């Protein structure tokens, strides 16, 4: 697995370079997809780098990318192992040029992410995790550090609740209020893309409630990072997220540093 992680890190870095070459240009080539979400040349270029690279590296493992043509569930249901890719998570943040976008690659086995790599091209930062080795971060300085969620978070005076910069809603704000009632105060931190999950994994935030739509490729890699950093990622009904479902839309979920901030502990 270690050798595979290194190769995926290199691929994600290459995809990030492609993204940045367009990010620093005058034309993103933006168009609108059928689901009304934006698509740029950066999404397409990153997709090509990642999918081509993964197929060459592991031809026996199928690849599902956000920008792939639709693959019927009848075919996907036969996959015990596959790559799940979001070539550019946070396209809206990319267009706004605020740097809060990521490149996400996860290896899924039996419906569970066993490896995840999240690249942050604008910050020259990498997050990754495997079941066997744990979770890590390599910042721009180049010094790799292990990741751990916040310890003893219920004892803190104020917790950070990270929320979507583009999709916050009343249900999310209600969740933050319940955390505040329990803790005596919270700070809401709006952030784009899979960075929200990574912030929980590294202890920069304590909880991320996502009471709104996401797709499997949006979160699988960062889900792995949170889990392997010692955190908890579960649906509002208390189940672990599963991948390669017939419907690729995720249920609402919460990522947190501890059980005390999960829905059941807050009265959901």
Q: Give residues with Cβ within 8 angstroms of 153, minimum separation 6.
A: 159, 206, 257, 258, 260, 261
Please give the pLDDT value at position 96. Answer: 92
Task: State which residues form the domain around 195.
Answer: 153-266
Say whether both 131 and 157 belong to one domain: no
Say whether both 57 and 14 belong to one domain: yes
CA dist 90 and 80 (Å) reads 28
Into how many domains does the chain fold?
2
Say whether both 139 and 115 belong to one domain: yes
Please give the pLDDT value at position 141. Answer: 86
Q: Which pLDDT tens digit goes with each residue over 213-226?
A: 999 999 999 999 99
Say whether both 75 and 129 belong to one domain: yes
Say whether both 90 and 176 belong to one domain: no
CA dist 204 and 188 (Å) reads 12
Q: What is the pTM of this model?
A: 0.95
CA dist 171 and 106 (Å) reads 28
From 203, 196, 7, 252, select the one nearest 115 (Cα to Cα): 7
Confidence of residue 153 (pLDDT cuts 50, 70, 90): confident
- C-alpha dihedral, 57 to 60 to 64 to 65, nearest 10°: 20
């Amino acid at each position: 697995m270690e050798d595979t992680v290194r190769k995926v890190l290199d691929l994600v870095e290459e995809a990030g370079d492609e993204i940045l070459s367009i990010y620093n240009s005058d034309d993103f080539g933006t168009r609108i997809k059928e689901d009304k979400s934006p698509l740029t040349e950066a999404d397409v270029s990153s997709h090509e780098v990642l999918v081509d690279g993964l197929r060459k590296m592991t031809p026996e493992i199928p690849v599902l990318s956000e920008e792939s043509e639709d693959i019927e569930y009848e075919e996907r249901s036969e996959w015990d192992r596959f790559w799940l890719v979001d070539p550019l998570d946070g396209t809206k943040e990319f267009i706004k040029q605020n740097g809060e976008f990521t490149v996400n690659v996860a290896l899924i086995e039996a419906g569970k992410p066993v490896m995840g790599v999240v690249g942050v091209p604008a910050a020259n930062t990498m997050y990754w995790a495997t079941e066997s080795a744990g979770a890590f971060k390599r910042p721009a300085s180049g010094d790799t550090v292990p990741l751990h969620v916040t310890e003893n978070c219920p004892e803190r005076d104020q917790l950070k609740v990270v929320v979507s910069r583009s999709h916050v809603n009343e249900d999310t704000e209600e969740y933050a209020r319940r955390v505040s009632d329990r803790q005596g105060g919270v700070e809401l931190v709006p952030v784009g893309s899979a960075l929200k999950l990574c912030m929980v994994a590294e202890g920069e935030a304590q909880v991320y409630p996502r009471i709104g739509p996401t797709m499997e490729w949006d979160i699988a890699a960062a889900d792995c990072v949170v889990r392997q950093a010692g955190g908890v990622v579960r649906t509002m009904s208390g189940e672990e997220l599963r991948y390669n479902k017939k419907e690729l839309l995720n249920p609402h979920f919460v990522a947190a540093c501890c059980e005390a901030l999960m829905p059941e502990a807050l009265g959901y």
